[in-house]
Amino acid sequence: MRSNHNHNNSLAEVYDLAVVGGGINGVGIAADAAGRGLSVFLCEKDDLAQHTSSASSKLVHGGLRYLEHYEFRLVREALAEREVLLAKAPHIVKPLRFILPHQPHLRPAWMIRAGLFLYDHLGKREKLAGSRSLRFGAGSPLKAEISRGFEYSDCAVDDARLVVLNAMTARERGAHVHTRTRCVSARRSKGLWHINLERTDGSLYSIRAHALVNAAGPWVARFIQDDLQQKSPYGVRLIQGSHIIVPRLFDGEQAYILQNEDRRIVFAIPYLERFTLIGTTDREYQGDPAKVAISEEETTYLLKVVNAHFKHQLSRTDILHSFAGVRPLCDDESDDPSAVTRDYTLSLSACPGEAPLLSVFGGKLTTYRRLAESALAQLAPHFQNLQPSWTASAPLPGGEQLESLSALIEALCESFGWLPTQVARRWANTYGSRVWRLLDGVHELSDLGEHLGAGLYTREVDYLCREEWAMEAADILWRRTKLGLFMTPGQQAKLRDYLKSEHPHQPNEHAA
Ligand SMILES: Cc1cc2nc3c(=O)[nH]c(=O)nc-3n(C[C@H](O)[C@H](O)[C@H](O)COP(=O)(O)OP(=O)(O)OC[C@H]3O[C@@H](n4cnc5c(N)ncnc54)[C@H](O)[C@@H]3O)c2cc1C
């Protein structure tokens, strides 16, 4: 047992908690722990959300499909989290209606109706509308033979920004968040973890911590084996999922959930007004998680499923962008990659007198907050004076005093008459009420600095480097914003040059 906050050590700084991994699970645990009064250190070997947490289908959802695998615990928890996250971050979490076309190869309509009834009632739901049956008219973008279906609610989320906002929360509660810093090894000694870290420039430093959280995602088992030299309590199944982005395939705000004849499902989701996001696949992956990329076979599969449902036919030349990630799932020895449990497992190892290690296996973006609460509940016996859970009702950065996005956009346009409406809209949807910080001291367009293209001004770049750990062009183009889809190669090169000259890599400062 120990008391919190103990930084006065001449050897290497001592934290209560060290977290390895800056994906959603690592930052979620770091934020929760920092808010409960623990001193927290988090390291991420690349950029925040660079791996699985930016390669998702970008849904906060209960997971209608998981009902088929009887994952009631997970579905109930996830359904309830939808409204919690909607309230915490209304600028990046939005309600989304899903259309489920009904076809003869699917389950009978009564069974789907029963599943949707469960989906409507398993978790607490106040804001999201319930499900209903539909008949499609001649104006439907679906093929004429698809005449019936259902509609239900879930939410869309900006996955990478959800990670950044949690990292900001952690920092605002006192955590030290170090990106581009790899944990190369850690060992236990005299009740503490001694943790060795390496920055991308090759420089090394160490910290110590009373507890270690391994939230390394696809690397979770490898981290235990290679860096801690221990045996992993569970195996990990790496299940690849890929997405393609095409020009907007249909009108309207609704998404489609398409069930293929092999029973797997593919989403077609409206994306950033101009596009449709299509995914995902499920295939066993054996390679390096950092190198995962969509395969020819997956591309063919996604196009085939969409073309089987929509009147408008897509071909490879329509694909504007693609991305892939690997789900780090806890191995339940299922034969079918789609059926491996999507639930999470936390493993705590702590012999008496030893510093504890908590490893995270599996998990969804949707349930990150509940996962963090469970992690803190498991670590609680190792800390005195740990404050109670607090994240359910606390807004994420930008979600504070945000009544409606349209009111925010209106207020921005009123205060800054010269601001292009498109930029005001993007900023409101990206930064929420934090946009006022970005615009602090700005009086005219020239105060935004140089225009790099597609509404990206150097002032926003400076803000992202200062406030959101952005360092490289990809951090800004694909994770802090999605401007990579809008900027030309020439404009992207200009951003790279600007970063090189104005924001050369600064190793994270550390007092050790
Ligand atoms: C295709 C696909 C679609 C999905 N769709 C959805 C969805 O719509 N909704 C949903 O809720 N969930 C979805 N998920 C699941 C969700 O994305 C993941 O469960 C979640 O992102 C996992 O987060 P994580 O923090 O565990 O892992 P990651 O995001 O991979 O983070 C782990 C981090 O640890 C870092 N790391 C590893 N080793 C070290 C080390 N030694 N030192 C420092 N850092 C290290 C890595 O660089 C990495 O950034 C999807 C997943 C996939 C693959």
Instruction: Examine the domain organization and report whether 229 and 241 are in the same domain.
Output: no
CB 372 within 8 A of CB 34: no
**Given CA atoms 416, 421, 427, 429 in this order, what sign does their dihedral have?**
positive
Residue 507 in domain? no
- The count of residues in the chain is 512
What is the CB < 6 Å shell around ligand 1? 20-26, 43-46, 50-53, 55-59, 61, 182-183, 215-219, 223, 227, 241, 280, 325-328, 360, 363-366
Query: Which pLDDT score, from 0 to 100, does residue 8 have?
Result: 39
What SS3 state is found at 492?
A: helix
Q: How far is the CA of 494 from the centre of ligand 1 (A)?
A: 30
By residue range, what is the domain housing residue 477? 405-502
Amino acid of residue 110: W
Minimum-distance ligand 1 atom for the alpha carbon of 280: 1
Residue 1 has pLDDT above 70, yes or no: no
Instruction: Examine the domain organization and report whether 168 and 147 are in the same domain.
Output: no
Amino acid of residue 198: E
Residue 432 in domain? yes
Q: How far is the CA of 133 from the centre of ligand 1 (A)?
A: 35
Residue ranges with strand state E in 334-468: 345-349, 357-361, 451-453, 456-457
Q: Whose CA is nearest to atom 21 of ligand 1?
A: 53
Q: How far is the CA of 217 from the centre of ligand 1 (A)?
A: 5
Query: Which pLDDT score, from 0 to 100, does residue 105 have?
Result: 81
Instruction: Examine the domain organization and report whether 450 and 313 are in the same domain.
Output: no
Instruction: Examine the domain organization and report whether 282 and 189 are in the same domain.
Output: no
Minimum-distance ligand 1 atom for the alpha carbon of 46: 47
Instruction: Examine the domain organization and report whether 323 and 247 are in the same domain.
Output: yes
Q: How far is the CA of 500 from the centre of ligand 1 (A)?
A: 28
Instruction: Examine the domain organization and report whether 148 and 257 are in the same domain.
Output: yes
Q: How far is the CA of 397 from the centre of ligand 1 (A)?
A: 21
How far is CA 463 from each of CA 61, 68, 205, 270, 468, rounded to the nearest angstrom?
31, 45, 28, 28, 7
> How far is Cα 393 from Cα 369, in angstroms, rounded to an integer?
11
Instruction: Examine the domain organization and report whether 221 and 244 are in the same domain.
Output: no
Q: Whose CA is nearest to atom 38 of ligand 1?
A: 216
Minimum-distance ligand 1 atom for the alpha carbon of 241: 1
Q: In which band, very low, low, confident or very high, does the pLDDT at 127 lie, cut at 50, 70 and 90?
A: very high
CATH of the domain at 444: 1.10.8.870
Query: Which pLDDT score, from 0 to 100, does residue 508 have?
Result: 54
Q: In which band, very low, low, confident or very high, does the pLDDT at 11 lie, cut at 50, 70 and 90?
A: low
**Phi, psi for 310 (deg, rounded to 5):** -100, 150
Query: Which pLDDT score, from 0 to 100, does residue 66 have?
Result: 81
Instruction: Examine the domain organization and report whether 307 and 182 are in the same domain.
Output: no
Query: Which pLDDT score, from 0 to 100, does residue 139 have?
Result: 94
Return the best residue to mutate from 27, 51, 82, 200 for the ligand 1 pocket (most ligand atoms within 8 A of CB): 51
Q: How many angstroms separate the first and last alpha carbons of the chain?
A: 24
- b or e along 176-196 (b: 16 or more beta carbons within 10 Å of the residue's beta carbon)? bbbbbbbbeebebeeebbbbb
Please give the structure tokens belonging to residue 81: 């989290």
Return the best residue to mutate from 29, 365, 366, 368 for the ligand 1 pocket (most ligand atoms within 8 A of CB): 365
Write out pLDDT tens, residues 179-188. Answer: 999 999 999 9
Residue 387 in domain? no
Residue 474 in domain? yes
Minimum-distance ligand 1 atom for the alpha carbon of 48: 49
Q: What H or E segment, with its residue span, contains residue 112?
A: helix 109-121
Q: Whose CA is nearest to atom 52 of ligand 1?
A: 56
Q: How far is the CA of 386 from the centre of ligand 1 (A)?
A: 27
Minimum-distance ligand 1 atom for the alpha carbon of 327: 53
Nearest to 31 by CA among 390, 361, 359: 390
Instruction: Examine the domain organization and report whether 241 and 230 are in the same domain.
Output: no
Among 276, 305, 335, the domain boundary falls at 335
Average pLDDT over residues 48-62: 97
Residue ranges with strand state E in 215-363: 236-247, 255-259, 265-271, 275-279, 283-284, 321-330, 345-349, 357-361
CATH of the domain at 135: 3.30.9.10
Instruction: Examine the domain organization and report whether 152 and 251 are in the same domain.
Output: yes
Query: Which pLDDT score, from 0 to 100, does residue 123 have?
Result: 86
Q: How far is the CA of 183 from the centre of ligand 1 (A)?
A: 17
CATH of the domain at 185: 3.50.50.60
Query: Which pLDDT score, from 0 to 100, does residue 507 have?
Result: 56
Q: How do beta strands 275-279 and 265-271 pair?
A: antiparallel
How far is CA 104 from each of CA 137, 223, 362, rounded to the nearest angstrom?
18, 47, 34
Give the range among 40-54, 383-397, 497-511 with minimum mean pLDDT.
497-511
Instruction: Examine the domain organization and report whether 256 and 137 are in the same domain.
Output: yes
Residue 146 in domain? yes
Residue 4 in domain? no
CB 106 within 8 A of CB 263: no
Instruction: Examine the domain organization and report whether 143 and 197 are in the same domain.
Output: no
Residue 392 in domain? no
Q: How many CA atoms lie within 13 A of 408 on its CB side?
A: 24
> How far is Cα 461 from Cα 475, in angstroms, rounded to an integer?
10
Minimum-distance ligand 1 atom for the alpha carbon of 26: 25
> How far is Cα 242 from Cα 303, in angstroms, rounded to an integer?
12
Q: Count how many domains the chain has.
A: 3
Residue 510 in domain? no
More confident residue, 80 or 509: 80
Q: Whose CA is nearest to atom 25 of ligand 1?
A: 23
Minimum-distance ligand 1 atom for the alpha carbon of 21: 34
Output helix, strand, coil percentages for the chain, rounded to the nearest 5: 35, 25, 40
Write out pLDDT tens, residues 321-342. Answer: 999 999 988 887 777 777 777 7
Write out pLDDT tens, residues 429-444. Answer: 999 999 999 999 999 9
Beta bridge partners of 199: 181
